Amino acid sequence: MRVSSLISRRNFVRLGLGLAGGQMLSPPAVTAAPVGRRRAKQVLVLFEQGGVSQIDSWDPKPQAVAEHKSPFEPVATSVPGLQFTRLLARTAPLAHKLTIVRCMTQPTPGIGNSHPKGSQYIYSGEAPGGPVEMPDISSVVAMLQGSHASHLPSNIMVPGTNEQSPATKIGFLPPAYKVFKTGGNPADPKWTVPNLGLLGVDDARFRTRTRLLDRLNIGLLGADRARDAKAMKSLMTRAIDMLTNPATRKAFNIESEPEAVRQRYGTGMRGRSYLLGRKLIESGVRFVMVDVREPQNSFRDGKPVGYGGGNNMNWDHHDAIYAKTHTNIKGGGAGRGRWGIHTWPMMGSTDQALSALIEDMDQRGLLEETLLCFVTEFGRT
């Protein structure tokens, strides 16, 4: 199949999440009305690492016995017959814009209960541990599709700091297609993306250096070395464009968004990261992945906020899943200070940011051309 042969977004979701695991897509009985064929030009993945509980979010199972259903009451959505829990009260009215997966399983031994391997499965779409290390899906897209904007990387991870982000792999692809991780905490008022400026070099000197680069006479080299030199020069040209194009810094400037928009997403790490994901998609980045693991000492409304109780604020709740605030999981250790799923740092900020993102992208026409996925490496039992 030619890569340029585009399929409908809904079928692409079925294929992509069938490979990578996730929480969007449902049986036909709880799916929104069929829509016409659409073509996705870019992908935005919201990877909530740690294992989001399916029964406490998209699949409350209200008719099940107490041991197998969520303690949080279900709420009706905009799709008849489809319910979420009240923890997704803001997202529920937007359910007709979603497709929910309730049938995903992870049959591969050693992956369905391993955060690193499960995350690598999400990143690559292939079960890790095979004879060939497979590259991330984002890197494959970057190689085959390139970028809509030459001044920006084709694949970006925001911020790329979750516990399992080292599981991203370039595999057998050239290093040029490795995912670009912004790093840091977008909620920090001093947050910047490193290496996007001319540190220690004024513009005149930088231009002089680029002119010297342009004079590189590739024709004097041998054929093999000439190909390498051309590839390097192409990479350098893109790097120069990234460093000198004002549109690059504009794409990462969250403060350029109206105050009402920033407040709607939420001013913590998750809200700011989701908003930045939308900005990068709108700016022409082909593949964006947002991963959020808010640190113990973070920021909200531009001011420092301490969440206390440890630094593992992901979805790996264990027995602390219904804690009123935060508590230690059994065994302690690295599991100190997990926050309950219903608290603001967890599902509260997620529901706010996700509903804002869906509405915002819809109003801007981005849902018509963007494959938007909410995924986690596995659920909870």
> How much is the pTM?
0.83
What type of residue sits at position 41? K
Residue-wise pLDDT tens digits, 75-103: 999 999 999 999 999 999 999 999 998 88
Q: Are 46 and 274 in contact (CB under 8 A)?
A: yes
Rounded Cα–Cα distance for residues 115 and 314 (Å): 11
Taking only the tens of pLDDT, the chain with its 381 residues reads 333 333 344 443 333 333 333 444 333 334 444 555 657 899 999 999 989 999 999 999 999 998 889 999 999 999 999 999 999 999 999 999 999 988 877 767 667 678 888 899 899 988 888 899 999 999 999 999 988 888 899 999 999 988 888 889 999 999 889 999 999 999 999 999 987 765 556 667 767 766 776 666 555 455 556 566 666 666 666 666 666 677 888 999 999 999 999 999 999 999 999 999 999 999 999 999 999 988 888 999 999 998 876 665 789 888 889 988 888 887 666 656 788 999 999 999 999 999 999 999 999 999 999 999 999 998 887
Q: Say what the pLDDT of residue 276 is.
A: 98
Q: Please state the φ and ψ torsions of residue 150, each to the nearest 5 degrees.
A: -65, -20
Residue labelled with tokens 């939420």: 266
Strands (E) across the chain are located at 42-47, 74-76, 83-85, 155-158, 180-181, 287-291, 297-300, 303-306, 326-327, 338-339, 370-375
Paired with 338 in beta bridges are 327
Residue labelled with tokens 């814009």: 97
Rounded Cα–Cα distance for residues 6 and 25 (Å): 20
Coil/strand/helix, residue 235 = helix
